[in-house]
Structure 1
Amino acid sequence: MRVAAFGTGFFSTYHYDSWSRIPGVELVGICVHSNTARAEEFARRYGAKAVFTNPEEMLDATEPDLVDIITTPESHAALVRLAAARNIPIICQKPLAPTFEEAQALVETAGRTGTLIVAHENWRFRPWNREAGRLLRDGAIGEAYNVLFRMRPGDGQGPSAYLDRQPYFQKMPRFLIHETGIHTIDVFRYLMGEVTGVFAHLRRLNPAIAGEDAGYVTFNFASGAAGVFDGNRLIDFEAENPRLTMGEMLIEGSDGSLRIDGFGRIWLRRRGGAAMEHTYSWENKGYAGDSVHALQAHVVRHLREGTPVENVASEYLKALCIEEAIYRSHAERRWIDLMQ
């Protein structure tokens, strides 16, 4: 399978490393806006065949079977148009676009040519979230009543917050939910089902940034379950690497509970008993339990074998609708019913 990619930013290293490890994948091109020296270094490191600065030239010269868009959100629409015009399947990093309306337009662009576009939303592919999903489906804690995620990466303090990795974070007018909390929205949907309503209170604690960096969001689910997202990027928590899980999750049900800690461990407690570690297999490599690799391999398997694919962009718009409702709830200081 021939893969061409756009971008060489901070997070792209996880993408390229993954492509280099999927059997039968050939990285045929890397396209950048201007930093060809970095792109050429990536090409040597990950085995890419060529470097380009013109997106159309790369697509026409390499004729890829799949493109991976790893650039900043404002560039996504133009790149999607080029790939969709050639009916080349697309993986597109999140956020899909700077605004919900632009994301809708991007999805419509791909839809007009029947081009597959998958949102690169890798948190649902983290091994502890996949295992938690399996345990819930198997009835390990009975009927799920509540889910709580406390996001505590601890990387948001002071005037230099985020500058070493993703400096554009400081200028985002919507930050905690739009950039980071959207992951939890997607994981909640994966684990608990569709969201029917939200209420939010958001805050900006670090004056060096433009957007919010802390907040509480409550969720109702179609199943009748409830959820809470408690996010604060300034606070850390017990973990060898806070970025591994970014926080702790607790899911409670009629027959017990399960908890995911900062080490990727799952603690299962049966009703009336004590919590015990649930053993399962995963590798501490790549990004967050190799979740980028899991997502990319998932898409490759779909294209090769026709297996079901998760998070096609048209479906992912539901998560973006929830994001919009969260910001609306905060602005209007009221509950937003997503079923109206």
Structure 2
Amino acid sequence: MNAQRLRVGVVGAGNIATIAQLPTLVQRDDVDLAALVSRREDPGNLVRRWGFGAAYRSVEDMLASQDLDAVFVLTPRSEHAHAVQLCLDNDVDVFCEKPLAPATEEAERLADLADERGRILMVDFNRRYAPVYTAGREAFGEKGATFCVAQKNRPGSEYRATFENAIHMVDLLRWYCGGDPVDVAAHAAGDDPWEEDGVAAIIRFSTGNTGVLMAARTAGAWNEKLDAYGDGKTVEVRAPETVSTTVSGVTTSRELSAEAYGWATATDTLGFSAAVHHFLDRVADRAQPLTSGREAVHTQRLLDRILAASGLPAEEQQGRQWESHATSATAKP
């Protein structure tokens, strides 16, 4: 590994990448954006805008031509596993958008491969790095929250909405409550199991803590919040900007508005930027990331249990083409 600058490749440079990861990468003095993989007929604008050293049509071509330290896989989920495996097989550390793979067994295989090759594999469950969620989690220490209610609503539905979007809240419930899921009960709304109208779930963890998931596609508005209780404390997170902690009747509030946080954007408030920094720091010190590939597998297994309990499929619909919300400039992450 270059002790001065990390040679980084990026696979996929869609809307979310240009809002979240790429602006953070170009700010790092220790990163050289060596290569881009893009399906665009003419990726020249992307190369010039972000300062990539070269552009390629495939991950195979990039890895054959470049000696890289790390790769960011920012493609639609159906393409994650192929790119991640190629990078790990070439002894390259990987940052992958969530989920690691459409099927949990495939995600676990990739986590095993990362361990076998001694590589850093991190999945972008960015909410764990968002300042409001981090501050809320710190209030409960090792015990975690006795009760945690995580809610993420979006108007309208999409293909496999719970798998694609509510998975963020499932990951937060695991993080806040700790332990392994013991009991899972869930209910889904809507007539189409592939484009459900929402899911509610209750999860009992081995720590004795309880998590509640609410993901409503019929709410008519984007809304994300988390309430947690335990050890005489109450935490209220209203993402992406506010967190309030009440201890012994005294409430302390933190506001991450543009004025209070130096013109904060979603890149900062939702944890995208901090996740990139965390990954690059782990590439340097070789410690396991907070949201490692193995952690991502545990979250996906819990999501599978929620889907099964609610009568929803855990697999892809045969012949269905998945379209990432990252292709929409107006979609909220």
Pick the TM interval, shorter chain: 0.7 to 0.9
The match for 2:15 is 10
* C-alpha displacement of 1:22: 2.1
Distance 2:14 2:150 in 1: 28
For 2:240 and 2:40, how far apart are their aligned partners in 1?
A: 36
Residues 145 and 82 of structure 1: CA distance in aligned 2, closer, same or farther (over 3 Å): closer
Unaligned runs of 5+ in 1: 162-169, 333-340
Please give the alpha-carbon distance, in whole angstroms, between the structure 2 residues aligned to 1:308 and 1:80: 17
Deviation readout 1:287-338 (Å, 9 max, x if unpaired): 3515111111111111223455212212321111101111111129xxxxxx
| 2:81 is aligned with 1:82 | no
Once the two structures are superposed, the pairs formed by residues 241-260 of structure 1 within 5 Å of their partners are: 242=222, 246-260=223-237
Report if aligned partners of 1:147, 1:250 keep a CA contact under 8 Å in 2.
yes
2:278 aligned with 1:277: no
* In 1: Cα distance, 2:198 partner to 2:227 partner: 19
Q: TM-score, normalised by structure 2?
A: 0.82
CA distance in 1, matches of 2:151, 2:100: 25
How many Å separate the matches in 2 of 1:78 and 1:279?
Answer: 40
Instruction: Select which of 68, 72, 77 maps to 1:73.
Output: 77
Unaligned runs of 5+ in 2: 1-5, 313-333
TM-score of the pair, normalised by structure 1 = 0.80
Matched, 1:313 2:293: yes
Q: 1:229 aligns with which of 210, 213, 218?
A: 213
1:217-245 deviations in Å (ceiling 9; x for gaps): 101122212121111133256xxxx4xxx
Q: 1:215 to 1:81 in 2, by over 3 A?
A: closer
Partner of 2:325: none
8 Å contact kept, 2:140–2:230: no
Instruction: Tell me which amino acid in the other structure corresponds to 1:220.
Output: R
2:168 counterpart of 1:183: yes
How far apart, in 2, do the equivalents of 1:112 and 1:305 lie?
18
* Residue correspondence of structure 1 range 94-109 to structure 2 within 5 A: 94-109=98-113
Contact 1:27 1:48 in 2 (8 A): yes
- The answer as to 2:195 corresponding to 1:211 is yes
Aligned residues: percent identity? 20
Counterpart in 2 of 1:134? 138
2:274 aligns with one of 263, 284, 294:
294
For 1:113 and 1:253, locate their aligned partners in 2 and report how far apart those are by CA, in whole Å: 40
State the secondary structure of the residue aligned to 2:253: strand
2:21 and 2:255 mapped to 1: Cα distance? 28
2:99 is matched by which residue type in structure 1?
P
Deviation at 1:55, TM superposition (A): 1.7
Give the total of aligned pairs.
301
Question: Which residue is 1:201 aligned to?
Answer: 187
Q: CA separation of 1:8/1:212 partners in 2, compared to 1, >3 Å: closer, same or farther?
A: same
Q: Does the CA contact (< 8 Å) of 1:128 and 1:265 recur in 2? A: yes
